[in-house]
């Protein structure tokens, strides 16, 4: 006859519960990023986020699915860059973004039509509308 320590059962149940909640937490953060991106695009506001361990500030222009992956097309205006070229266009996988927040600063709207013609999207959730040349912050 073997004896079970009740603490080991509690620990095991606690671990199972924690593991079960991990995908839920990831899903919640993805929903939050989705809401933030849609709002930033709609209101033409800059976003700040961390990507590849670098903090970046950018204008979000297109948000959708490309080759089955949720991505956002941004015009990065400041922050870190592995390529060193700024400002410049970046196509960012949403799953790799961290610490996303919408800033108060606005941008004027779409920058160039040709950019959209070169990006093939499976589905577009949000696209920045053309706007005035003098954004108000």
**pLDDT tens-place string over residues 33-48:** 999 999 999 999 999 9
Bridge partner residues of 89 (DSSP): 75
Q: How far is CA 125 from CA 58, 78, 105, 136, in A?
A: 18, 25, 22, 25
The vertex-72 CA angle with 31 and 52, nearest 5°, equals 90
pTM higher than the cut 0.75: no
Check: CB of residue 6 under 8 Å from CB of residue 66: no
Evaluate if residue 62 carries a pLDDT over 70: yes
- Considering only residues 44 and 22, tell me which one the structure prediction assigns the higher pLDDT: 44
The share of the chain scoring above pLDDT 90, in percent, equals 58
3-state secondary structure of 38: helix
């Amino acid at each position: 006859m073997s004896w079970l320590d009740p603490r080991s059962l509690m620990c095991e149940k606690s671990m199972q519960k924690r593991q079960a909640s991990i995908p839920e937490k990831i899903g919640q953060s993805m929903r939050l990023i989705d809401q933030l991106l849609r709002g930033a695009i709609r209101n033409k506001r800059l976003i700040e986020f961390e990507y590849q361990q670098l903090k970046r500030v950018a204008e979000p222009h297109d948000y959708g699915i490309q080759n089955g992956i949720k991505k956002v097309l941004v015009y990065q205006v400041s922050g870190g860059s592995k390529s060193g070229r700024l400002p410049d266009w970046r196509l960012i996988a949403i799953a790799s973004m961290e610490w996303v927040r919408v800033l108060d600063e606005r941008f004027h709207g779409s920058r160039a039509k040709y950019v959209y013609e070169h990006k093939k999207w499976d589905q577009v959730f949000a696209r920045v509308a053309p706007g005035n040349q003098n954004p108000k912050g």
